[in-house]
Structure 1
Amino acid sequence: MVSWSDSESTEGSAAQYISSDDSPLKIPATIDEPSFEGLADDLNVICEHGNPGRKYVAFEGISTGRRKFVCSIPGVENCGLVQWVDEHWPEHLQNAIHKLWLMYEHSQHAKKMACLEHSSTVHNLTQQEKDLQETYEKLVEDVNNLLDYKDSQPEVNQKNDAKNISVSVESSMTKDAGIKKLKAVVDQLKQIHVAQAILKRRKS
């Protein structure tokens, strides 16, 4: 807790001296306010380091907008909050500010969840694209193998050997089916690319 006591300055002025115990002090977040900034040299309010407090405006919770003096020493040596300039806001104003902060927190949470959902969607689309790409490459390889096999068969054997004719017909049918499947995979890849582009535009 912050304790207040009257101290004696070297110049005999009635300055207020602020001291704190070993308990950690949470200093509310602040915003810059040109009308209330800099050191409080003219107000005779000093912290336990013997330095004048620095002027700030709170920007956290129901104290948002209240002016205060804060120890000007940065880091762990900071002795904590020095003094509030403004009294607590009226209860109705505190309630309104509290609701505004709740709305802000809910909005931030919704944004975070949307980002997580977006990341999950992108991950799934990327995995689908990878799987389809592998399928596409395998189909291309199979079709090329079928074509190479067909070209490697002697024409005389294809004419005179009924078995070879049957194999050729079957290979041709398989090739046609493979080409159709290949086309379907390519169409799916295009759809995934379009979906990813839409997600990126929404994110930006």
Structure 2
Amino acid sequence: MPSWNDEETSSEEECKVVSMDMGLIEEPYTIVKPLFYGQLELAQPKCILHQMRPIKRVAFEGIVTGRHFYGCPIQENGVNCGVVEWVDGPWPPVLQRCLSKLWEMFHEQNCGRVLDKEKFEKELAKLKCEHERELAKLKMENDKLCIEYTRLVDDVSKMFDWRDGRVDKKVYQKQVEEEELEKKKKEELEEKAMLEVQMENLKLAKEQRCILQSQADIIKNTRKAMKDVEVDIDVLKKEKAKIELVVAESLKDGYGSKEKLEKIKAILES
């Protein structure tokens, strides 16, 4: 059990200090506890590197969770020399195992939340991208409709001006002809661009057919060469069989001549 009383006010000088390890110990993560907070008022102990009065802290990490200790006062800027002294002794093994299991469960859940967050961010980015594409498409359609609307308004305005006699018929006719000519030129340019695209596609298709034909010729020539090689291999096998037969007969004749020479030699020696 912890060696402090939750009902204490400021009598921290009378707190019993349990020094576990006076060496350099890495300071764990901590939490703020109002009844155990601030700088130690006693002259001793002091931190190892700075020789300064430590501050009261409560550990919040692993199997030391909840243990009171005196820590180095240098927290942000500079080198923190870790735990000066532990106020509480180590927890019982059962409690340590429980704390370890709880922290393990916490880290697993935290990891799951991180993965869920990453998945949510990916889905959000995907939806945002799709929304931007749809927005750009709608903007293009809106711009096109605005152009068409402006053109229609101009045409209607010109038609009313011509009807009311505020515009000369010849001028109006000339404007109409110019607009028709411009429209025709625009259509011709679009047709020309379309023809160029079709010619380019035909060129690519022709090149692709040439490549496919070349590949077919290569495959055909390769198969023919393989057939010729197979025929040559069959001829060589037949020649090899004939040579082996001749060699066998020659060896047989040689063995017979050897036997005759041995008999003649035996007669001569007798």
TM range (shorter): 0.5 to 0.7
Q: How many equivalent residue pairs?
A: 132
Are the aligned partners of 2:71 and 2:83 in contact in 1 as well (CA < 8 Å)? yes
Counterpart of 1:101?
A: 103
| Cα distance, 1:47–1:131 mapped onto 2, change above 3 Å | closer
Q: CA deviation at 1:135?
A: 3.8
**Please, which runs of 5 or more residues in structure 1 have no aligned partner?**
1-15, 153-204
TM-score with structure 1 setting the length: 0.52
Distance 2:28 2:126 in 1: 41
Are the aligned partners of 1:19 and 1:47 in contact in 2 as well (CA < 8 Å)? no
Are the aligned partners of 1:53 and 1:82 in contact in 2 as well (CA < 8 Å)? yes
| Cα distance, 1:123–1:78 mapped onto 2, change above 3 Å | closer
Within 5 A, what are the aligned runs for 1:30-179?
Answer: 30-42=30-42, 44-48=44-48, 49-74=50-75, 75-137=77-139, 141=144
Distance 2:110 2:141 in 1: 46
Secondary structure of 1:114's partner? helix
Are the aligned partners of 2:22 and 2:85 in contact in 1 as well (CA < 8 Å)? no
Distance 2:39 2:140 in 1: 72
Counterpart of 2:8?
A: none
Bigger drift between 43-52 and 29-38 goes to: 43-52
| Cα distance, 1:137–1:50 mapped onto 2, change above 3 Å | closer
Distance 2:70 2:89 in 1: 13
Are the aligned partners of 1:19 and 1:79 in contact in 2 as well (CA < 8 Å)? no
Structure with the bigger percentage of helix: 2
Structure with the bigger percentage of strand: 1
Q: CA deviation at 1:39?
A: 2.6
Within 5 A, what are the aligned runs for 1:15-30?
Answer: 25-30=25-30
Q: CA deviation at 1:137?
A: 4.7
Give 2:72's aligned amino acid. C
Q: CA deviation at 1:67?
A: 0.7
Q: CA deviation at 1:138?
A: 5.1
Are the aligned partners of 1:20 and 1:79 in contact in 2 as well (CA < 8 Å)? no
Give 1:87's aligned amino acid. G
Secondary structure of 1:45's partner? coil
Q: CA deviation at 1:41?
A: 2.5
**Please, which runs of 5 or more residues in structure 2 have no aligned partner?**
1-18, 156-270
The higher relative CO (CA closer than 8 Å, separation ≥ 6) is in: 1
Distance 2:125 2:51 in 1: 57
| Cα distance, 1:50–1:136 mapped onto 2, change above 3 Å | closer
- Higher radius of gyration, 1 or 2: 2
1:88-138: CA deviation from partner (whole Å, max 9, x where unpaired) = 111111111112112221222122122211111111112212223344455
Q: CA deviation at 1:54?
A: 1.4
1:116-175: CA deviation from partner (whole Å, max 9, x where unpaired) = 111111111122122233444555648x87xx89xx9xxxxxxxxxxxxxxxxxxxxxxx
Q: CA deviation at 1:19?
A: 7.0
Secondary structure of 2:39's partner? coil
Distance 2:80 2:139 in 1: 64
Secondary structure of 1:103's partner? helix
1:65-102: CA deviation from partner (whole Å, max 9, x where unpaired) = 00111122343243221111111111111111112112
Give 1:53's aligned amino acid. P
Counterpart of 2:204?
A: none
